[in-house]
Chains A and B, each alone.
Chain A
Amino acid sequence: MSLIKGVQRFLPTLRLGCCLYHNAIVRERQPSRIHHNIFEGERVIPEPPQTLTDVEESKEEFKYVEKLLASNVVPEPPKHDHYPTPSGWIPQTVEQSFRMRFSGSRWRKRALIGKSDNDEEDFHGFTVEELKKAKLGDLPYFIKRTRFHNLPVYVEIHNGGNRKMTLIKYVEGDIWALEGELSHFITEKTGKRTYTQVDEVCRKVRVRGDFIAEVTDFCLSKGL
Chain B
Amino acid sequence: MASVEKALSLLKNLPRVNLGNLKPLPGRRGKKPDRRGQHGGKNRGFGDGANNLPRMGFEGGNVPFYRRMPVEPYYKDHAFRKQYPPLSLLQLQRLVDLGRIDTTEPIDLTTLCNTKVITVNPHLKHYGINLTDEGADIFEAKVNIEIQWTNEIAIAAIEKSGGTITTKFYDLQCIDAMVNPLLFFNRGIPIPRCKLPSMDVIEYYSDAKNRGYLADPELIRQARIELAQKMGYNLADPSQDPLYEMLTKRKDPRQIWFGLSPGWVVNLKHKTVLKPNDPELIEYYQS
Please report A residues at the B interface, Cβ cutoff 8 Å.
10, 12-13, 16-17, 19-20, 23, 53-59, 61-65, 67-71, 74-78, 80, 85-89, 148-149
Chain B residues within 8 Å of chain A by Cβ, number: 46
Since A17-B10, A61-B259, A67-B105 are in contact, a sample of 20 more A-B pairs with Cβ atoms closer than 8 Å, ordered by chain A residue number, is: A13-B3, A16-B7, A20-B13, A53-B281, A57-B272, A59-B272, A59-B273, A61-B260, A62-B271, A64-B258, A65-B181, A65-B185, A69-B114, A71-B114, A77-B98, A85-B93, A85-B97, A86-B93, A87-B135, A89-B97
Kindly count the residue-residue contacts between A and B in the assembled complex, taking CB atoms under 8 Å apart.
110
The answer to whether B105 and A87 touch across the interface, beta carbons within 8 angstroms, is no
Q: Which residues of B contact A10 (CB under 8 A)?
A: 3
A56 with B14: in contact, given A70-B114, A85-B97 (CB under 8 Å)? no
* B 171-215 to A, binary, CB cutoff 8 A, 1 in contact else 0: 000000000011001000000000000000000000000000000
Q: Does chain A have a CB within 8 A of B169?
A: no
Q: Which residues of A contact B94 (CB under 8 A)?
A: 87, 89
The answer to whether A13 and B6 touch across the interface, beta carbons within 8 angstroms, is yes
Please report B residues at the A interface, Cβ cutoff 8 Å.
3, 6-7, 10-11, 13-15, 90, 93-94, 96-100, 105, 110, 113-114, 116, 135, 138-141, 181-182, 185, 257-260, 264-266, 268, 271-278, 281
The answer to whether A23 and B7 touch across the interface, beta carbons within 8 angstroms, is no
Q: Which residues of B contact A87 (CB under 8 A)?
A: 90, 93-94, 96-97, 135, 138
Instruction: Out of A20, A69, A88, name the residue touching B10 (CB < 8 Å).
Output: A20
The answer to whether B276 and A75 touch across the interface, beta carbons within 8 angstroms, is no
Tell me if B's interface is mostly helix, strand, loop or mixed: mixed
A148 with B98: in contact, given A64-B257, A64-B258, A64-B260 (CB under 8 Å)? yes
A65 with B14: in contact, given A53-B278, A75-B99, A89-B97 (CB under 8 Å)? no
> Closest Cβ of chain B: how far from A22's Cβ, in Å?
10
Q: For the complex, give the distance between the alpha carbons of A95 and B213 in Å.
A: 48
Q: Which residue of A lies closest to B257 (CB)?
A: A68
> Closest Cβ of chain A: how far from B205's Cβ, in Å?
23
The answer to whether A58 and B275 touch across the interface, beta carbons within 8 angstroms, is yes
Q: For the complex, give the distance between the alpha carbons of A69 and B185 in Å.
A: 10
Q: Which residues of A contact B138 (CB under 8 A)?
A: 86-88
Q: Which residue of A lies closest to B271 (CB)?
A: A62
The answer to whether B181 and A69 touch across the interface, beta carbons within 8 angstroms, is yes
Q: Which residues of A contact B110 (CB under 8 A)?
A: 68
Q: Which residues of A contact B277 (CB under 8 A)?
A: 53-56
Q: Which residues of B contact A148 (CB under 8 A)?
A: 98
Q: Which residue of B lies closest to A24 (CB)?
A: B13
